[in-house]
Amino acid sequence: MLNFVFAPPLILSCICIFLAMIGYDYFMGWGMSLFSMTFGHLFYATWFIIIYAYQHRNDVEEETSMKHIKVNPDMISNREFDRDRFKK
């Protein structure tokens, strides 16, 4: 399990770091080198998001029906409000 979770992002991170280190000479110049150094960790984070979503794919809560309560209309009508609503 740990090998499955940790190995791919570590490998991707090492690749990005390596490409960033040699970027000036062999990759695509300073721009790509800085891009790799800046965003290389996102490969690592994205992998954990994917793993978390996969592990919790069946964690959807079951829908529960609402319980309706019988209410007396006198309980919800505010007669004083109705009487005074249009008075000014």
84 inside domain: no
Angle at 70 between CA 65 and CA 76, to 5 degrees: 115
Write down the mean pLDDT value for the chain: 70
The tally of domains found in the chain comes to 1
- What is residue 76's predicted lDDT score, i.e. its pLDDT? 64
Average pLDDT over residues 1-18: 71
Q: Is residue 77 part of a domain?
A: no
pTM for this prediction: 0.31
Which residue range is the domain that position 38 belongs to? 2-55
Q: Token match 């990005």: residue?
A: 16
Lowest mean pLDDT among 11-15, 21-25, 45-49: 21-25
pLDDT at 43 over 80: no
Instruction: For residue 63, give the DSSP letter.
Output: P
Does residue 16 belong to any structural domain of this protein? Answer: yes
Look at residue 88 and tell me if it is in a domain.
no
* DSSP summary character for residue 25: H
Percent of the chain with pLDDT strictly greater than 90: 0
Whether 83 is covered by a domain: the verdict is no
